[in-house]
A and B are shown apart, each in its own frame.
Chain A
Amino acid sequence: MTQARVEAIELSRIYRGSRRRAVLAVDRLNLAIGGGEVFGLVGESGSGKSTTARLLMGLERPTSGRVLYRGWDPAKRPREFRRQAQLIFQDPYAALNPALRVLRTVTEPLAIHGVGTGAERRRLACRWLERVGLTPPRDYLDRFPHELSGGQRQRVAIARALILEPAFVAADEPTSMLDLSVQAGILNLLVTLQQEMGLGCLFITHDLAVARHVSHRIGVMFAGRLVEQGPAEAVVGTAAHPYTRQLLAAAAVGVLTEEVSFTAPSPDGCRFGPRCPRAGAVCREQEPFLTAIGDGHLVACHFPG
């Protein structure tokens, strides 16, 4: 792995509600994503995946902990950071401004960062539309988002994110709103572009099969904590955390037969405890921390394997 491009150090984000207790969306998360590396982040809704992406991308300030981009703090140089780190969102229907034509949408990052003249931007936009598979580009330049299908919109969003040739991209469930047949095309496109450009990438999904397909490493999040992390094949092939195993069972069979308990975990213990088939006394008393069990394969569990 090349030198870490994006790092999270003891990163936490707490949301304070009015009536309820504070919610620990992300809790002391440590993460390093290298240049040219795809890190897949999986977990169920509410596990803190999207908050992690927003923190890494500087869209939100951490409650505590730090984000480092190539060793510097992105919040100090937001403009330079945004030139090098871009986002692809989940919902292509909401991510594009409905009043802007494709040309304007795709060239907006160039305009913001003062890259090129109008003609050059147009040329670049054409090149990128071609690269994301919207050919011939002149058929798309003057269209509005409502004239495009979901897959085409996501391609426009990808062109917009990559036109500045960033070094890092965070993609938050970029295919979960699309038909499977369309998802395949978008995944292929992202993998190709990532390899051609040597992009570092945080790829969020709740589909382990998709995560394995695109990622070099996979991290599994539960209740704000990373509970397992390692090479994609190791995490999917020899999952050690009971939660990862549950995710795998859900992905492999598509049907979970046992009910899942929603009892609150004990404050000092493992958060997965109440849902865990292996939980023992120690799990209620002591929170497990990430420990290496193989080459780069870490798991936070008292009874891994």
Chain B
Amino acid sequence: MDDLLVIEDLVVAYSGPAGEVRAVDGVSLRLPRGASLGLVGESGCGKTTLALALVRLLPSCASILSGRILLEGEDLVQMPETAMEGVRWRRVALIPQAAMNSLNPVYTVGWQIREAIATHERVASREADRRAAAALELVGLDPARRFAYPHELSVGMRQRVVIAMAFACRPPLIVADEPGSGLDAISRAQVLGLMQRLRHRLGTSFVMISHDLEEATALGDLVAVMYAGKVVEVCPAGRFPGQARHPYSRALAAAHPPLRGPRQQLTGIPGEVPRPGSPPPGCRFHPRCPEAAAACRQVGPELSKVAPGHHVACHLWGGEGL
């Protein structure tokens, strides 16, 4: 299969006074060209760190300790920064968290889209302006809005501008970090609908990061669940959350009240995500798991296959192995 993105045993650590802290601890994922992946988990599970590692925009205190990130077969981990500048935006773009606040308030949005294009491609300024206008049109905004400053736009419109920027150089892969958070229900649904349409029109792949299951499955062909720096379940989006196996995946799904049917007591997940520096021994989820057994306290489970394309790291589901 033609893989757009392959992540192999990636370890990303922050260095602090107490030594190194592994926020992403041995993650392997595979994304075929044109497919999209939803990545879910609570805050503090390493989702954003993974996103930043994919575009090599980690803060200076963080570094990739080991593993490979193969984008179209080329390893981004080993790539010198100068070469990386040619990859960013043209081959992989990032829609950062709280994207609507990531625009520069003192420049017009058109200027900012032009800058993104001109930094990564050699184009005449008139051509960059034409493309900025086209990018805004693509996300359903009036091209005349390129003369507007960010404060003149609503939150939902600003989010669209950032999406327009991510698409400006037509990268095959876009990493979107919680693109719907901070928006109300309707704007969020519209932004997700927009991304879905653009994806079908342009064939772009997404890595869609969210703690919201709906958002993560909205574009996803695949869903990966992350807990405490590790991927604990990967499955086709259609099987999620209905046929999710990992107790953590099922707990996440049960946490949101249903819109229909009888009202029931919400279960939530007791306790908190462990601090990355001191994960519990064995399965990292065992202190919060309602089904934890003795083995879970001692041995960390590996991902194993339970159905085609469906892998779970849980002792309760000892499958056939990878």
Contacts and interface: CB of A to CB of B under 8 A. Distances in A.
Interface in A245-262: 246-260
Contact of B268 (A181, A207, A254): A181
A177 to B, nearest CB: 9
Contacts of A183: 255-256, 268
B211 interface: yes
Interface stretch (B54-62, B192-200, B229-237): B192-200
Interface string B141-166: 00000000000001100000000000
A219 to B, nearest CB: 15
B257 A206 contact: no
A45 B193 contact: no
Nearest to B211: A179
Interface stretch (A161-169, A209-217, A277-285, A288-296): A209-217
B82 interface: no
Nearest to B140: A259
Contact of B266 (A149, A213, A246): A213
B252 interface: yes
Nearest to B248: A181
Interface string A56-95: 0000000000000000000000000000000000000000
B189 A212 contact: no
A180 B225 CA distance: 14
A208 interface: yes
A209 B211 contact: no
Contacts of A136: none
A29 interface: no
A51 to B, nearest CB: 15
Contacts, number: 107
B268 A184 contact: yes
B42 A45 contact: no
A286 interface: no
Interface string B248-261: 00011011111110
A246 B188 CA distance: 12
B266 A45 contact: no
Interface string B2-45: 00000000000000000000000000000000000000001100
B256 A254 contact: no
Interface in A230-257: 236-237, 246-257
Interface string B269-286: 110100000000000000
Nearest to B256: A180
B185 A184 contact: no
B187 interface: yes
Contacts of B137: none
Contacts of A44: 184-187
B272 to A, nearest CB: 6
Nearest to A187: B266
A185 interface: yes
B108 interface: no
The interface centre, meaning the residue of B193, B252, B259 with most chain A CB atoms within 10 A of its CB, is B259
Contacts of A188: 265-266, 268
B177 interface: no
B144 to A, nearest CB: 14
Contact of A250 (B155, B188, B213): B188
Contact of B215 (A46, A212, A254): A254
A182 interface: yes
A181 B185 contact: no
A254 B218 contact: yes
B266 A184 contact: yes
Interface in B171-195: 183-190, 192-193
B186 A246 contact: yes
Nearest to A250: B189
Nearest to A205: B185
28 contacts: A44-B185, A45-B154, A180-B213, A180-B252, A181-B269, A183-B255, A183-B256, A183-B268, A184-B255, A184-B257, A184-B267, A185-B266, A185-B270, A188-B265, A188-B268, A206-B185, A208-B185, A209-B256, A213-B266, A236-B260, A247-B185, A250-B185, A251-B259, A254-B189, A255-B192, A256-B193, A257-B193, A259-B190
Interface of B: 42-43, 140, 154-155, 183-190, 192-193, 196-197, 211-215, 217-218, 251-252, 254-260, 263, 265-270, 272
Given A180-B256, A209-B258, 6 more contacts: A45-B184, A149-B272, A184-B267, A254-B218, A256-B186, A257-B197
